[in-house]
Structure 1
Amino acid sequence: MSLQDQLMKAGLVSKHDAKKANKAKHRALKSGKKVVNEAKELAAKKKLEQAEKDRLLNAERKAEADKKALQAQIRQLITSNAQPRDRGEIPYNFSDQGTITKVFVTEALQRGLVNGQLAIAKLEQSYYLIPTGVADKVAQRDDSFIVLRNDRNTQAELDEDDPYADYQIPDDLMW
């Protein structure tokens, strides 16, 4: 049973209107004109819009999942390579976003920090001492986790007119 028959049965369309519509459709097909089915076009348009919406939503979800995976990688790198500093008695001061912060380290860890062999990473309000190589890997993913990394290869250029040029400040100065 076609839609036209159903409409006639329901009393929404008369037999005369149905014949008239069929004649118009037949003439259009015979003359080569394309019969436009607005319902099909509207459905196709909505389907395309929904597909685009789904694609954008999936891209958003994938980006969020990638971000979480990256955070998990960073967390694993820091926690698995952290140096134990539980018996440290020497305070080591450093700057974290403009705030002077202190961690207690052993003498060997202090030398490692001063010599650039160790770096300090921050993860959820806790500080971890990690090897510089690991700090480089973390910085490649997100450098906001690395708080301090001393690089012994880059010497600060000295100003020629500096009156204190002959008095170098030692790296292990306790302040």
Structure 2
Amino acid sequence: MGNSLQEQLLKAGLVNEQKLKQTRSDKRKQVKQTGRQPTAEEQAARQAAERARAEKLARDRELNRQRQEEAARRAAENEIRQLIHTHRVVRDGGDLAYNFTDGSALKRLYVNKDQHAKLVGGRLAIVRQDTFYELVPAEIAERVQARDASLVLVLNRASDESNPDDPYAEYQVPDDLMW
């Protein structure tokens, strides 16, 4: 009774093994192609899976964008740090105090007479690097300012234009005047 019709035909010699395998394969393919229609639950699950995949893809893109922005920000910070470090002016032996503001705090930096004159004249500038203050040439300060303006604390620009309404325009300020 366990013998199927295919096995009986094979024993009788009416079909060969190759023909039997071909028939089984064709039958499986036909069942697969004309398979049943998916139910509403299966369709809902399929749609939910597709939505989850799309959301995950969007989250991954956003995370990638944030990582790229962070890497670009770090590269810019390192570039600024390198620029300041390579062009800083050494302040050894400074005896004059130069006062400036950093936000709402009043800070003091000791410089020599030549550096003081260059700071006042706009040829030197004070920039913040991490928690320190450095003297750099005005050209470098302008490059730093183009990248991050909050790091440049003192950059005096010489104005060639004099105000015609200034009542003190004809008086000169002495060079040795200290505040």
- TM exceeding 0.5: yes
Task: Count residues with an aligned counterpart.
Answer: 143
Structure number with bigger Rg: 2
User: In structure 1, the residue corresponding to 2:68 is in which secondary structure?
Assistant: helix
Give the AA of the match of 1:112: K
1:25 partnered with 2:30: no
> Residue 23 and residue 103 in structure 1: after superposition, are their counterparts in 2 closer, same or farther (change >3 A)?
closer
1:88, distance to aligned residue in structure 2 (A) = 1.2
96 and 23 in structure 1: CA distance in 2 versus 1, 3 angstrom threshold: closer
Query: Structure 1: which 5+ runs fail to align?
Result: 1-21, 27-35
Residue 144, structure 1, aligned to residue 150, structure 2: yes
* Range that drifts further, 37-46 or 78-87: 37-46
* Structure 2 gaps, min length 5: 1-33
Give, in whole Å, the separation in 2 of the partners of 1:73 and 1:140.
Answer: 12
Q: Does 1:118 align with 2:124?
A: yes
Contact 1:88 1:105 in 2 (8 A): yes
Matched, 1:158 2:170: no
1:46 maps to 2:46: no
Per the alignment, do residues 121 and 106 of structure 1 end up closer, same or farther by CA in structure 2, a change over 3 Å counting? same
Amino acid at match of 2:157: D
Contact 1:92–1:174, Cα closer than 8 Å, also in 2: no
The residue number in structure 2 matching 1:14 is none
Does residue 66 (structure 1) correspond to residue 72 (structure 2)? The answer is: yes
CA deviations on 1:76-132 (whole Å, 9 max, x unpaired) are 111121100021112222233344322111222122212211110012332100011
Q: Report the alpha carbon displacement of residue 140 of structure 1 after superposing the two structures with TM.
A: 0.9
Aligned to 1:11: none
Mapped to 1, the partners of 2:177 and 2:77 lie a distance apart of 35
Partner of 2:87: 81
Structure 1 residues 47 and 171: CA distance shift in structure 2, 3 A = farther
SS in 2 for 1:103: strand
Letter of the 1:174 counterpart: M
Corresponding position: 1:127 with 2:139: no
| AA at the equivalent of 2:96 | I
CA RMSD of aligned residues (A): 2.6
| Cα distance, 1:52–1:23 mapped onto 2, change above 3 Å | closer
Q: Deviations over 1:115-166 (max 9, x none)?
A: 21111001233210001111111111101000000111x2465362x54343
